[in-house]
């Protein structure tokens, strides 16, 4: 790219959505400007087809959308659809506009849509991926593993990275499930002589994390307390296997990008989309259900990010 080339990532501030955009930008070797919008009412409650004056919708809590406009715009999330299309209309063929995930409007309005297969979206300008885009690369895993090796040096091998989610629109981590997960992890640690490196997400309630912590008493475990540098990628790089709750497409996709055994613990609830996603990952040999035993197997990680980046390069060329 020439020195004047401008790229934007546009999101509604959700960390998981932003991470997907950044993963694609990094694969393109670009350092984008990141804009986060917080639309005002009534725009925040309306579908994108009904937004009037979409560039005026973002409220004071978000970034202002104004020229100079980018040459490449990668956006994701329902609330970014109308602003992204408004910029596309202004710039016409002077911009490449890409939307991650199903925009729920006509696919042809964007130059490219990159959506997971469980969205069941198809079209000439649609790249279908097995899971979510992500920032996991062999280089990042190696670098982060070296950075956090000391933090987890006291834990025995095999080392299990445990990625905890929690409640969202489709799933609930009940107290009973938190107890069961904690007990299964303790059983696995004792049976295999394993160490546990645990991290929770924003969706993990303090009560459920405490229940899991109680059942891991006496086990070799490190539970990140949220202070200091985030060890997430370091854990993935150091781990021999991974246990992840099934409420997050992002976390399962990131775990599956490591090539390491991924054991999925399902929470209460679900949806047809999530069922299709988990079925696809199991069919590809990436994941297996977690039932308290640590299994070893091999698979080829999906090439979703590389394929998506290649499609974007073709458009930019």
Domain that holds residue 149: 138-289
Query: Would you state the pLDDT for residue 3?
Result: 67
Question: Cβ of 64: how many Cβ atoms within 10 Å?
Answer: 10
Q: Look at residue 28 and tell me if it is in a domain.
A: yes
CB 196 within 8 A of CB 221: yes
Domain count, the chain: 2
Structure tokens of 277? 């996603």
The SS3 of residue 266 is coil
Is pLDDT at 122 greater than 70 in this prediction? yes
- CATH at 266: 3.40.50.2000
Within its chain, how far is the Cα of 184 from the centroid?
25
Q: What is the pLDDT of residues 31-59, one digit of tens each?
A: 999 999 998 888 888 888 888 778 887 77
DSSP codes joined into one string, 146-185? HHHTTTTTTSPSSEEEEEE----SSEE--HHHHHHHHHHH
Quick one: 162 and 282 in the same domain? yes
Mark whether 195 and 76 lie in a shared domain. no
pLDDT-derived band at 1 (thresholds 50, 70, 90) equals low
Do 116 and 151 lie in a common domain? no
Are both 46 and 80 inside the same structural domain? Answer: yes
The verdict on 36 and 115 lying in the same domain is yes
**Residues 106, 111, 114, 118: what is their CA dihedral angle, to the nearest 10 degrees?**
20
Give the chain's mean pLDDT: 95
Position 300 in a domain: no
Residue 247 in domain? yes
241 and 172 inside one domain: yes
Looking at the fold, whether 143 and 162 belong to one and the same domain comes out as yes
Q: Is the preceding peptide bond at 22 cis, omega within 30 degrees of 0? A: no
**162 and 114 together in one domain:** no
pLDDT at position 30: 97
Question: Is 299 a domain residue?
Answer: no
Query: 147 and 126 in one domain?
Result: no
Query: How confident is the model over 242-252, as a mean pLDDT?
Result: 97
Give 3-state DSSP helix, strand, coil % of the chain, rounded to 5. 40, 20, 40
pTM, to two decimals? 0.94
Identify the CATH number of the domain in which residue 80 sits.
3.40.50
* Assigned domain for 185 exists: yes
Q: Does 199 sit behind a cis peptide bond, omega within 30 degrees of 0 on the bond before it?
A: no
Q: What pLDDT is recorded for position 242?
A: 98
pLDDT for the residue 264: 98
Over the range 120-159, which residues count as b (16 or more CB within 10 Å of their CB) and which as e? Answer: ebeeeebbbbbbbbbbbbeebbeebbeebeebbeebeebb
Average pLDDT over residues 257-267: 98
Task: Please tell me the number of Cα atoms within 13 Å of 284 on its side-chain side.
Answer: 22
pLDDT of residue 2: 67
């Amino acid at each position: 790219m020439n020195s004047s080339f401008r790229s934007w990532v546009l999101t509604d501030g959700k960390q998981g959505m932003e991470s997907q955009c950044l993963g694609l930008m990094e694969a393109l070797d670009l350092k984008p400007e990141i804009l986060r919008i917080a639309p005002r009412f009534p725009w925040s409650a309306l579908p994108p087809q009904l937004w009037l004056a979409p560039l005026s919708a973002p409220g004071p809590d978000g970034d202002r959308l104004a020229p100079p406009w980018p040459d490449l715009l990668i956006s994701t999330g329902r609330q970014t659809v109308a602003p992204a299309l408004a910029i596309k209309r202004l710039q016409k063929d002077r911009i490449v506009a890409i939307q991650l995930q199903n925009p729920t409007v006509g696919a042809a309005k964007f130059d490219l849509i990159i959506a997971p297969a469980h969205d069941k979206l198809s079209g000439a300008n649609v790249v279908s991926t097995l899971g979510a885009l992500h920032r996991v690369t062999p280089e990042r895993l190696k670098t982060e593993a070296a950075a956090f090796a000391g933090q987890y040096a006291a834990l025995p091998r095999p080392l299990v990275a445990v990625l905890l989610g929690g409640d969202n629109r489709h799933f609930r981590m009940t107290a009973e499930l938190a107890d069961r997960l904690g007990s299964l992890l303790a059983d696995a640690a004792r049976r295999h002589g394993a160490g546990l490196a645990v991290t929770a997400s924003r969706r993990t309630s303090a009560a459920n994390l405490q229940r899991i912590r109680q059942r891991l008493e006496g086990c070799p475990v490190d539970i990140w307390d949220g202070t200091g540098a985030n060890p997430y990628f370091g854990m993935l790089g150091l781990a021999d296997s991974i246990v992840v709750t099934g409420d997050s497409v992002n976390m399962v996709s990131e775990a599956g990008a490591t090539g390491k055994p991924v054991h999925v613990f399902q929470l209460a609830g679900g949806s047809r989309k999530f069922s299709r996603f988990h079925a696809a990952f199991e069919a590809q040999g990436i994941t297996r259900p977690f039932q308290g035993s640590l299994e070893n197997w091999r698979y080829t990680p999906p090439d979703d990010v590389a394929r998506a980046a290649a499609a974007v390069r073709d458009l930019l060329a």
